[in-house]
């Protein structure tokens, strides 16, 4: 099986802060979706990305924020195992980010030979 990374992207909006109940419901959706992938033996790892960051550009130019010049932000990622990219895309179809207008970028992971 190959490994694929799903990158979760969305545009920040000015919506009010979700209630604690809405946050718990969202967390449960993510847990259920990732749990379903894990139950198939296709889960490798995941993390949510924080909001702080710096970007290093050529010439040692450092800017604040990981998304200073783009409309979308990357909110997190998951690494899964599947036989083909089409199978990885199928796993992505249940991602909760799709319910809030975001999208999932699926990329193959290339092994670096030492």
* Number of other residues whose CB lies within 10 A of the CB of residue 7: 16
Instruction: Grade residue 44 by pLDDT with cuts at 50, 70 and 90.
Output: very high
- Percentage above 70 pLDDT, the chain: 93
Q: Using one digit for the tens of pLDDT, what is the confidence trace for 24-35?
A: 999 999 999 999
**Domains of the chain listed by start with CATH number:** 2-10+20-108 (3.30.70.1060)
């Amino acid at each position: 099986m190959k490994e694929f990374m799903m990158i979760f992207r969305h545009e920040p909006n000015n919506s009010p802060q979700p209630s604690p109940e809405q946050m718990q419901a969202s967390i449960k959706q993510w847990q259920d979706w990732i749990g379903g992938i894990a139950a198939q033996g296709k889960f490798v790892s995941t993390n949510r990305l924080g909001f702080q960051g710096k970007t290093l550009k050529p010439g040692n130019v450092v800017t604040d924020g990981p998304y200073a010049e783009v409309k979308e932000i990357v909110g997190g990622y998951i690494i899964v195992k599947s036989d083909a990219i089409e199978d990885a895309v199928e796993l992505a179809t249940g991602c909760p980010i799709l319910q809030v207008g975001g999208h999932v970028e699926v990329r193959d992971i290339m092994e670096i030979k030492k």
